Protein backbone atom coordinates (compact mmCIF):
# COMPACT_ATOMS: atom_id res chain seq x y z
CA UNK A 1 0.00 0.00 0.00
CA UNK A 2 1.20 3.49 -0.82
CA UNK A 3 2.10 5.46 2.28
CA UNK A 4 0.74 8.94 2.86
CA UNK A 5 3.15 11.83 2.14
CA UNK A 6 3.21 12.83 5.78
CA UNK A 7 4.61 9.48 6.89
CA UNK A 8 7.32 9.70 4.27
CA UNK A 9 8.19 13.22 5.33
CA UNK A 10 8.53 12.27 8.96
CA UNK A 11 10.76 9.32 8.25
CA UNK A 12 13.28 10.92 6.01
CA UNK A 13 12.71 14.35 4.60
CA UNK A 14 10.94 15.93 1.69
CA UNK A 15 7.91 14.22 0.18
CA UNK A 16 8.17 12.68 -3.25
CA UNK A 17 6.01 14.41 -5.81
CA UNK A 18 4.71 11.06 -6.99
CA UNK A 19 3.45 10.29 -3.49
CA UNK A 20 1.69 13.66 -3.36
CA UNK A 21 0.14 13.41 -6.80
CA UNK A 22 -0.61 9.74 -6.24
CA UNK A 23 -2.79 10.77 -3.34
CA UNK A 24 -4.44 13.40 -5.53
CA UNK A 25 -5.23 10.77 -8.11
CA UNK A 26 -6.94 8.65 -5.46
CA UNK A 27 -9.01 11.61 -4.32
CA UNK A 28 -9.96 12.45 -7.86
CA UNK A 29 -11.15 8.88 -8.36
CA UNK A 30 -13.33 9.37 -5.28
CA UNK A 31 -14.91 12.41 -6.92
CA UNK A 32 -12.87 15.25 -5.40
CA UNK A 33 -11.53 16.79 -8.61
CA UNK A 34 -8.58 19.00 -9.51
CA UNK A 35 -7.40 22.07 -7.73
CA UNK A 36 -10.11 22.29 -5.13
CA UNK A 37 -8.53 19.15 -3.77
CA UNK A 38 -5.02 20.59 -3.93
CA UNK A 39 -6.13 23.51 -1.75
CA UNK A 40 -8.02 21.41 0.74
CA UNK A 41 -6.68 20.15 4.05
CA UNK A 42 -8.53 16.93 3.27
CA UNK A 43 -5.73 16.13 0.87
CA UNK A 44 -3.43 15.12 3.66
CA UNK A 45 -6.01 13.54 5.87
CA UNK A 46 -6.87 16.47 8.10
CA UNK A 47 -10.53 15.48 8.37
CA UNK A 48 -13.88 16.84 7.36
CA UNK A 49 -13.27 20.50 8.24
CA UNK A 50 -11.32 20.76 5.00
CA UNK A 51 -14.48 20.29 3.00
CA UNK A 52 -15.87 23.53 4.44
CA UNK A 53 -12.68 25.54 4.03
CA UNK A 54 -12.52 28.36 1.50
CA UNK A 55 -10.61 27.60 -1.71
CA UNK A 56 -7.39 29.55 -2.26
CA UNK A 57 -7.89 33.13 -3.50
CA UNK A 58 -6.48 34.42 -6.83
CA UNK A 59 -3.92 36.57 -4.98
CA UNK A 60 -2.50 36.81 -1.43
CA UNK A 61 -1.70 39.94 0.63
CA UNK A 62 1.87 41.08 1.43
CA UNK A 63 2.95 39.97 4.91
CA UNK A 64 4.69 43.35 5.45
CA UNK A 65 1.43 45.26 4.90
CA UNK A 66 1.06 48.13 2.38
CA UNK A 67 4.20 50.05 3.44
CA UNK A 68 6.22 49.23 0.33
CA UNK A 69 3.41 49.22 -2.21
CA UNK A 70 4.98 52.20 -3.99
CA UNK A 71 7.84 49.93 -5.14
CA UNK A 72 5.57 47.48 -6.97
CA UNK A 73 5.22 46.36 -9.66
CA UNK A 74 8.88 46.67 -10.65
CA UNK A 75 10.00 46.62 -14.27
CA UNK A 76 10.44 43.14 -15.76
CA UNK A 77 14.04 42.31 -16.68
CA UNK A 78 13.42 40.24 -19.82
CA UNK A 79 17.03 39.02 -19.98
CA UNK A 80 15.97 36.30 -17.60
CA UNK A 81 12.86 35.09 -19.41
CA UNK A 82 14.91 32.21 -20.82
CA UNK A 83 12.29 29.54 -21.06
CA UNK A 84 9.00 30.22 -22.85
CA UNK A 85 6.95 28.31 -20.27
CA UNK A 86 3.62 29.61 -18.98
CA UNK A 87 3.64 31.57 -15.74
CA UNK A 88 2.18 29.56 -12.85
CA UNK A 89 -0.94 31.28 -11.49
CA UNK A 90 -0.56 32.78 -8.00
CA UNK A 91 -3.60 30.87 -6.80
CA UNK A 92 -1.73 27.62 -7.49
CA UNK A 93 1.83 28.44 -6.40
CA UNK A 94 0.47 30.27 -3.35
CA UNK A 95 -1.46 27.25 -2.12
CA UNK A 96 1.20 24.59 -2.71
CA UNK A 97 4.14 25.52 -0.51
CA UNK A 98 6.98 23.99 1.40
CA UNK A 99 7.44 25.97 4.59
CA UNK A 100 7.99 23.42 7.32
CA UNK A 101 8.10 26.09 10.04
CA UNK A 102 4.31 26.20 9.63
CA UNK A 103 3.41 22.68 8.52
CA UNK A 104 4.61 19.89 6.24
CA UNK A 105 1.20 19.99 4.54
CA UNK A 106 1.72 22.04 1.36
CA UNK A 107 -1.96 22.79 0.89
CA UNK A 108 -2.34 24.26 4.40
CA UNK A 109 0.69 26.58 4.57
CA UNK A 110 -1.11 29.63 3.15
CA UNK A 111 -3.96 29.32 5.65
CA UNK A 112 -1.66 28.85 8.61
CA UNK A 113 0.61 31.71 7.49
CA UNK A 114 -2.02 34.26 6.47
CA UNK A 115 -2.11 36.21 9.76
CA UNK A 116 1.66 36.26 10.24
CA UNK A 117 2.95 39.86 10.16
CA UNK A 118 6.57 39.95 8.92
CA UNK A 119 7.27 43.45 10.26
CA UNK A 120 9.29 44.76 12.02
CA UNK A 121 12.20 42.58 10.85
CA UNK A 122 15.91 42.74 11.61
CA UNK A 123 18.72 40.94 9.79
CA UNK A 124 22.10 40.38 11.48
CA UNK A 125 25.29 40.43 9.37
CA UNK A 126 28.17 38.61 11.04
CA UNK A 127 31.34 36.54 10.70
CA UNK A 128 34.13 37.40 8.27
CA UNK A 129 33.02 40.96 7.45
CA UNK A 130 34.73 44.34 7.89
CA UNK A 131 32.24 45.18 10.63
CA UNK A 132 29.22 43.27 11.94
CA UNK A 133 25.94 45.18 11.69
CA UNK A 134 22.21 44.74 11.29
CA UNK A 135 19.63 46.15 8.89
CA UNK A 136 15.87 46.43 8.78
CA UNK A 137 13.01 46.34 6.30
CA UNK A 138 13.43 49.92 5.08
CA UNK A 139 17.05 49.17 4.20
CA UNK A 140 16.17 45.95 2.47
CA UNK A 141 13.37 47.42 0.37
CA UNK A 142 15.02 50.74 -0.47
CA UNK A 143 18.78 50.13 -0.74
CA UNK A 144 18.73 48.81 -4.29
CA UNK A 145 16.53 49.32 -7.36
CA UNK A 146 14.00 46.50 -7.71
CA UNK A 147 13.40 44.49 -10.87
CA UNK A 148 11.18 41.57 -11.80
CA UNK A 149 12.59 38.28 -13.10
CA UNK A 150 10.61 35.30 -14.18
CA UNK A 151 12.53 32.20 -13.15
CA UNK A 152 11.92 28.52 -13.42
CA UNK A 153 11.74 26.91 -9.96
CA UNK A 154 12.32 23.19 -9.42
CA UNK A 155 11.69 21.44 -6.10
CA UNK A 156 13.71 18.33 -5.23
CA UNK A 157 10.34 16.58 -4.95
CA UNK A 158 10.08 16.83 -8.80
CA UNK A 159 7.44 19.53 -9.09
CA UNK A 160 8.17 22.78 -10.90
CA UNK A 161 6.73 26.24 -11.51
CA UNK A 162 7.56 29.52 -13.27
CA UNK A 163 7.02 32.63 -11.17
CA UNK A 164 7.91 36.34 -11.41
CA UNK A 165 10.04 37.36 -8.42
CA UNK A 166 10.68 41.00 -7.53
CA UNK A 167 13.99 41.90 -5.93
CA UNK A 168 17.63 42.51 -6.72
CA UNK A 169 20.81 40.45 -7.31
CA UNK A 170 22.12 38.83 -4.11
CA UNK A 171 25.55 40.08 -5.10
CA UNK A 172 24.48 43.66 -4.27
CA UNK A 173 23.54 42.70 -0.72
CA UNK A 174 26.78 40.72 -0.31
CA UNK A 175 28.82 43.73 -1.41
CA UNK A 176 26.92 45.88 1.11
CA UNK A 177 27.94 43.40 3.86
CA UNK A 178 31.66 43.94 3.00
CA UNK A 179 32.98 40.39 3.42
CA UNK A 180 36.71 40.04 4.11
CA UNK A 181 39.00 38.49 1.49
CA UNK A 182 39.24 35.30 3.55
CA UNK A 183 35.45 34.71 3.39
CA UNK A 184 34.72 31.73 1.11
CA UNK A 185 31.10 30.89 1.98
CA UNK A 186 27.93 32.68 2.94
CA UNK A 187 25.43 31.12 5.32
CA UNK A 188 21.88 32.36 5.89
CA UNK A 189 19.52 31.52 8.73
CA UNK A 190 15.72 31.63 8.69
CA UNK A 191 13.47 32.83 11.48
CA UNK A 192 13.26 30.93 14.79
CA UNK A 193 9.99 31.63 16.61
CA UNK A 194 8.26 28.48 17.90
CA UNK A 195 5.47 30.56 19.48
CA UNK A 196 4.38 31.81 16.06
CA UNK A 197 5.63 28.89 13.94
CA UNK A 198 3.80 25.70 14.94
CA UNK A 199 6.07 23.40 12.92
CA UNK A 200 9.07 24.46 15.03
CA UNK A 201 7.20 23.55 18.20
CA UNK A 202 5.85 20.27 16.89
CA UNK A 203 8.54 18.84 14.61
CA UNK A 204 11.37 19.06 17.10
CA UNK A 205 13.38 16.31 15.41
CA UNK A 206 14.56 18.84 12.82
CA UNK A 207 17.52 21.14 13.50
CA UNK A 208 15.64 24.50 13.62
CA UNK A 209 16.06 27.20 12.56
CA UNK A 210 16.30 26.44 8.81
CA UNK A 211 19.73 27.35 7.45
CA UNK A 212 21.39 27.27 4.05
CA UNK A 213 24.79 28.11 2.58
CA UNK A 214 26.56 28.72 -0.71
CA UNK A 215 30.08 29.15 -1.93
CA UNK A 216 30.65 32.88 -2.31
CA UNK A 217 31.11 32.64 -6.08
CA UNK A 218 27.71 30.93 -6.39
CA UNK A 219 26.05 33.56 -4.24
CA UNK A 220 27.65 36.31 -6.30
CA UNK A 221 26.46 34.85 -9.62
CA UNK A 222 24.14 37.19 -11.52
CA UNK A 223 21.22 34.71 -11.30
CA UNK A 224 21.34 34.48 -7.47
CA UNK A 225 18.46 36.70 -6.41
CA UNK A 226 17.03 38.35 -3.30
CA UNK A 227 13.23 38.17 -3.58
CA UNK A 228 11.11 40.73 -1.73
CA UNK A 229 8.07 40.24 -3.91
CA UNK A 230 6.24 37.95 -6.29
CA UNK A 231 3.49 38.56 -8.88
CA UNK A 232 3.99 42.32 -8.67
CA UNK A 233 3.52 42.76 -4.90
CA UNK A 234 5.54 42.23 -1.72
CA UNK A 235 5.82 38.58 -0.63
CA UNK A 236 2.85 36.90 1.02
CA UNK A 237 4.00 34.92 4.05
CA UNK A 238 3.82 31.46 2.48
CA UNK A 239 6.49 32.50 -0.06
CA UNK A 240 8.96 33.48 2.68
CA UNK A 241 8.24 37.11 3.61
CA UNK A 242 9.73 39.55 4.11
CA UNK A 243 12.59 38.22 2.01
CA UNK A 244 14.17 35.04 0.74
CA UNK A 245 16.95 33.94 -1.56
CA UNK A 246 16.15 32.35 -4.94
CA UNK A 247 18.81 30.14 -6.58
CA UNK A 248 17.00 29.03 -9.76
CA UNK A 249 19.54 26.42 -10.88
CA UNK A 250 19.40 24.54 -7.57
CA UNK A 251 16.66 22.46 -6.00
CA UNK A 252 14.12 24.63 -4.21
CA UNK A 253 15.31 23.79 -0.69
CA UNK A 254 18.39 25.91 -1.48
CA UNK A 255 16.04 28.95 -1.70
CA UNK A 256 15.48 29.69 2.02
CA UNK A 257 12.61 31.83 3.30
CA UNK A 258 12.18 34.52 5.97
CA UNK A 259 15.90 35.13 6.60
CA UNK A 260 17.15 36.78 9.83
CA UNK A 261 20.94 36.35 9.61
CA UNK A 262 23.74 36.36 7.04
CA UNK A 263 27.13 35.00 8.05
CA UNK A 264 30.38 34.86 6.09
CA UNK A 265 32.73 31.96 6.81
CA UNK A 266 36.11 30.59 5.74
CA UNK A 267 35.06 26.95 5.91
CA UNK A 268 32.03 25.23 4.42
CA UNK A 269 29.02 25.53 6.74
CA UNK A 270 26.43 22.82 7.25
CA UNK A 271 22.99 23.11 5.69
CA UNK A 272 19.63 22.15 7.21
CA UNK A 273 18.71 19.28 4.88
CA UNK A 274 22.26 18.01 4.47
CA UNK A 275 22.64 17.83 8.26
CA UNK A 276 19.18 16.29 8.74
CA UNK A 277 19.39 13.63 5.99
CA UNK A 278 22.96 13.64 4.58
CA UNK A 279 22.43 10.67 2.25
CA UNK A 280 19.59 12.43 0.42
CA UNK A 281 20.47 16.13 0.18
CA UNK A 282 23.92 17.41 -0.76
CA UNK A 283 25.55 20.77 -0.28
CA UNK A 284 25.47 21.87 -3.93
CA UNK A 285 22.17 20.27 -4.95
CA UNK A 286 22.20 21.64 -8.48
CA UNK A 287 19.25 20.35 -10.52
CA UNK A 288 20.48 17.22 -12.30
CA UNK A 289 18.19 14.87 -14.28
CA UNK A 290 20.88 12.17 -14.32
CA UNK A 291 21.30 11.93 -10.56
CA UNK A 292 18.23 10.33 -8.98
CA UNK A 293 17.20 11.12 -5.46
CA UNK A 294 17.68 7.89 -3.42
CA UNK A 295 13.88 7.51 -3.28
CA UNK A 296 12.73 8.80 -6.70
CA UNK A 297 13.88 9.73 -10.20
CA UNK A 298 14.80 13.29 -11.13
CA UNK A 299 14.54 12.63 -14.90
CA UNK A 300 11.20 14.42 -15.27
CA UNK A 301 9.22 17.08 -13.44
CA UNK A 302 5.54 18.00 -13.09
CA UNK A 303 4.46 21.60 -13.73
CA UNK A 304 2.07 22.45 -10.87
CA UNK A 305 0.24 24.97 -13.08
CA UNK A 306 -0.32 23.03 -16.30
CA UNK A 307 0.05 19.56 -14.70
CA UNK A 308 2.27 18.66 -17.67
CA UNK A 309 5.19 16.34 -17.13
CA UNK A 310 8.38 17.31 -18.98
CA UNK A 311 12.06 16.36 -18.92
CA UNK A 312 14.16 17.92 -16.17
CA UNK A 313 16.90 20.17 -17.54
CA UNK A 314 20.48 20.20 -16.20
CA UNK A 315 20.86 23.14 -13.81
CA UNK A 316 17.11 23.64 -14.30
CA UNK A 317 17.71 25.18 -17.73
CA UNK A 318 20.44 27.58 -16.58
CA UNK A 319 23.47 25.47 -17.59
CA UNK A 320 24.78 28.08 -20.06
CA UNK A 321 24.95 30.59 -17.26
CA UNK A 322 26.13 28.53 -14.28
CA UNK A 323 27.78 25.25 -15.36
CA UNK A 324 31.17 26.96 -15.39
CA UNK A 325 30.96 27.41 -11.61
CA UNK A 326 31.23 23.66 -11.04
CA UNK A 327 33.45 20.68 -11.55
CA UNK A 328 31.87 17.23 -12.14
CA UNK A 329 31.99 16.35 -8.45
CA UNK A 330 29.86 19.33 -7.55
CA UNK A 331 27.16 18.67 -10.12
**Sites of contact with ligand MTE (CB under 6 A):** 14, 93, 97-101, 155, 190, 210, 239, 252-253, 255-258
Closest CB 205 distance from ligand MTE, rounded Å: 14
Question: What phi and psi, each to the nearest 5 degrees, are found at residue 261?
Answer: -150, 145
For ligand MTE, the closer of residues 18 and 255 by Cβ is 255
Smallest distance, Å, CB 20 to ligand MTE?
12
| Nearest CA among 191, 258, 185 for reference residue 220 | 185
Q: How far is the CB of 144 from ligand MTE (least distance, A)?
A: 22
Nearer to ligand MTE, 90 or 146 (CB): 90
- Tell the smallest beta-carbon distance from residue 238 to ligand MTE (Å): 6
Complex with ligand MTE: residue 253 or 264, whichever CB lies closer? 253
Tell me how far, at minimum, the Cβ of 328 lies from ligand MTE, in Å. Answer: 25
Secondary structure, 3-state, the chain: CCCCHHHHHHHCCCCCHHHHHHHHHHHHHCCCCHHHHHCCHHHHCCCCHHHHCCCCCCCCCCCCCCCCHHHCCCCECHHHCCCCCCCCCHHHHCCCCCECCCECCHHHHHHHHCCCCCCCCEEEEEECECCCEEEEHHHHHHCCCCEEEEEEEECCCCEEEEEEEEEEEHHHHHHHHCECCCCCEEEEEECCCCCCCHHHHHCCCCCCCCEEEEEHHHHCCCCCEEEEEECCEECCHHHCCCCEEECCCECHHHCCCCEEEEEEECCCCCCHHHHHCCCCCCCCCECCCCCCECCECCCEEEECCCCCEEECCHHHHCHHHHHHHCCHHHC
Output 104 or 265, the one with its CB closest to ligand MTE: 104
CB of 240 to ligand MTE, least distance (A): 6
Contact 247, 87 (CB under 8 A): no
CB of 157 to ligand MTE, least distance (A): 7
Nearest-approach distance from CB 295 to ligand MTE, in angstroms: 15
Q: Which is nearer to ligand MTE, 74 or 241 (CB)?
A: 241
Burial class (CB in 10 A: 0-12, 13-18, 19+), 187: buried
Residue closest to ligand MTE when measured from CB atoms: 252
- Measured from the CB atom, the residue of 184 and 280 that comes closer to ligand MTE is 280
| Residue with Cβ nearer ligand MTE (145 or 292) | 292
Please say which residue, 127 or 305, places its beta carbon nearer to ligand MTE: 305
Amino acid sequence: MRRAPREIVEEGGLTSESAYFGRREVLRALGFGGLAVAASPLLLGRGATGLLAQPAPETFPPAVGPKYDDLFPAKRNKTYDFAPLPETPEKISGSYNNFYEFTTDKARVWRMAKDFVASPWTVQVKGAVEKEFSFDLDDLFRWFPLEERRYRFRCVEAWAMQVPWTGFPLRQLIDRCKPLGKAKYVRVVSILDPERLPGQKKDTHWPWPYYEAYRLDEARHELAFVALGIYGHALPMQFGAPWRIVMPWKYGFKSPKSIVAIEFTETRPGTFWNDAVPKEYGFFSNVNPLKPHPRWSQATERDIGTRDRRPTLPFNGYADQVAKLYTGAEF
